[in-house]
Amino acid sequence: MLRSVYTFLLYLLTPFILFRLYWKGRRLKEYRCRIAERFSLTPMQPTDVWLHAVSLGEVVAATPLIEALLAKRWRVLITTMTPTGSQQVIARFGARVAHQYLPYDLPWALRRFFRAIDARLGIIMETELWPNLIEFATREKVPMILMNARISDKAFSSYKRTRFFFKPVLSKFKAILAQSELDAARFVKLGAAKRRVHAIGNMKFDLQIQSVSRIQVETFKIKWGSERPVFIVASTHDDEENQLLTRLKQLKSVIPNVLVIIAPRHPERFKAVYDLCCQLGLNTALRSEPESISNLIDVIVLDSLGELLSFYETSDYAFVGGSLVPVGGHNVLEPIAMQVPVFTGPFMMNSKAICAELLAAKAMQSFDNVDALYAAIIRLHRNPSQRIEQIKNANAVLALNKGTVARSMKVVVSLIKPAFQEL
């Protein structure tokens, strides 16, 4: 009954959803493209494993898992919801996987989707709980795994109020592989069967760095000055750049030749961040305009996707955004994997367990304001041994927590529907 009401309301909202796509497409044209995929109105091919990763962060987290699936010579379909996620899939995997946008949670679109892909297994990354999606997967006898599953404090409070609605959804998963014991306990409290919930670790610790493209970045490094200290500000949201740049003099007073690289989280904000830098009187270049990069610039705006790891590798200090504003923070393990000391703001709810472990091990630093952040960077700059110690501590935490993908693959192999023959 509840799902029927939900579906009815969703049908009523569909025109507004389409208008939202159009509106967002005014700033980022990719939202206006491939709309038919969101309603299962394009040709689709049968697959072995269908994996849903809603956006960029989930695709990055799922990358080592996807590589493990491909190593089995299985056909893999990846669905996303955002253009940034789509672009990451295409850039990272190309033709090795099939890719499309996930259909909206409408019964007729989902029926077409599942019958066309005929998947042997479905994997949903983190916490994408679409009631009709899970229902139709069950109807079509597709075993479902919720993988790298997590629930933030804020989300848990919301889910508790609607437990009666989500309990039937969670009950349909064959396995829920949680990032931590806390996450596992929360899924059980929301109605998931305890025997199907397992805390096996965070897949982000298994980040692969073999694919990092170094040649292009090394060329840029020569342009801006190989000896310059580099401070990368990654995955930033509105107001974070303003907080960091308006106080940049504090950092430059001690490290006058520091280069700042800013990588906004969302492509539609690239221009706004560039304009802000110029308004503040900073000599600013765009990554998309290599000719603008020289040893005279103060800031580079990284207006590209899929290159963050490469720029982390050439950096001396890293700030991970979404943490100076109450967004919840982004992936701190990427710069750690690239041997860069990591700093964040106070809002790290999205990676609470990871950050707690890193902070306890003195493997990263978190501060309530930019002044304290810059003071900490200055301390590390003046004391190289402390910088080395922080990196060493971070590497130890990273090594201790690896292996989640291997544990996840054991579950995948045990649940995937048998085929007449392996590809």
The string of DSSP codes covering 215-264 is HHHHHHHHHH-TTS-EEEEEEE-TTHHHHHHHTHHHHHTTSTT-EEEEEE
**Do residues 377 and 390 both lie within one domain?**
yes
Helices 163-170 & 153-161 angle (0-180, nearest 10): 100
Q: Is residue 363 part of a domain?
A: yes
Q: Which amino acid is at 156?
A: F
Report the C-alpha gap between 204 and 202 in whole angstroms. Answer: 5
State the Cα–Cα distance between residues 205 and 222, nearest whole angstrom.
31
- Which residues contact residue 218 at a Cβ distance below 8 angstroms, ignoring those fewer than 6 apart? 314
Q: Is residue 37 part of a domain?
A: yes
How far is 423 from 413, CA to CA, in rounded Å? Answer: 14
Three-state DSSP class for residue 60: helix
Does one domain contain both 173 and 231?
no
* pLDDT string in tens for the chain (423-residue length): 778 888 988 889 888 888 888 788 777 777 878 889 999 999 999 999 999 999 988 998 999 999 999 999 999 999 999 988 998 899 889 999 999 999 999 999 999 999 999 999 999 999 889 999 999 999 999 999 999 999 988 888 888 888 888 899 999 999 999 999 999 999 999 999 999 999 999 999 998 775 566 677 888 899 999 899 999 999 999 999 999 999 999 999 999 999 999 999 988 899 999 999 999 999 999 999 999 999 999 999 999 887 888 899 999 999 999 999 999 999 999 999 999 999 999 999 888 889 999 999 999 999 999 999 999 999 999 999 999 999 999 999 999 999 999 999 999 999 998 864 444
Q: State how far Cα 74 lies from the chain centre.
A: 24
The CA R_g of the chain, rounded to the nearest whole Å, is: 22
Residue 333 lies in a domain: yes
Q: Residue 84 is which amino acid? A: T
Same-domain check for residues 119 and 239: no
DSSP secondary structure of 37-48: GGGT-S-----S
Do 183 and 292 lie in one domain? The reply is: no
Looking at the structure, do residues 128 and 264 belong to the same domain, yes or no?
A: no
Distance, C-alpha 128 to centroid of its chain: 13
- Residue 10 within any structural domain of the chain: no
Q: Assess if residue 221 is contained within a domain.
A: yes
Q: What is the CATH number of the domain that holds 354?
A: 3.40.50.2000
Same domain, 197 and 266: no
Asked whether the beta carbons of 132 and 7 are under 8 A apart, the reply is yes
Domain total of the chain: 2
What does the block give as tokens for 105?
């949670």
Contact at 8 Å (CB) between 287 and 300?
yes
Same domain, 80 and 188: yes
Give the C-alpha separation, 81 to 338, whole Å.
28
14 to 8, 9, 17, 39, 371: CA distances (angstroms): 10, 9, 5, 11, 46
188 and 139 both lie in a single domain: yes
The CATH code of the domain that includes 155 is 3.40.50.11720
Q: How far is CA 72 from the centre of its chain?
A: 24
Looking at the fold, whether 178 and 230 belong to one and the same domain comes out as: no
Q: Is residue 2 part of a domain?
A: no
User: Is there a single domain that holds both residue 123 and residue 236?
Assistant: no
Q: Which residue has the tokens 């967002």?
A: 24
Owning domain of residue 154: 27-202+403-415
Catalytic center residues: 58
DSSP 8-state code for residue 366: E
pTM over 0.75: yes
* Backbone φ/ψ region at 118: left (φ over 0), alpha (ψ -120 to 50), beta: left
With respect to residue 16, please indicate whether it lies within any of the assigned structural domains.
no
Is there a contact between 170 and 138 (Cβ–Cβ < 8 Å)?
A: no
Is there a domain that residue 423 lies in? no
Q: Are residues 193 and 229 in the same domain?
A: no
Do 326 and 266 belong together in one domain?
A: yes
Q: Which amino acid is at 3?
A: R
Backbone dihedral angles phi then psi of residue 293, each to the nearest 5 degrees: -85, 125
What residues contact residue 255 under an 8 Å CB cut-off, 6+ apart? 229, 377, 378, 381
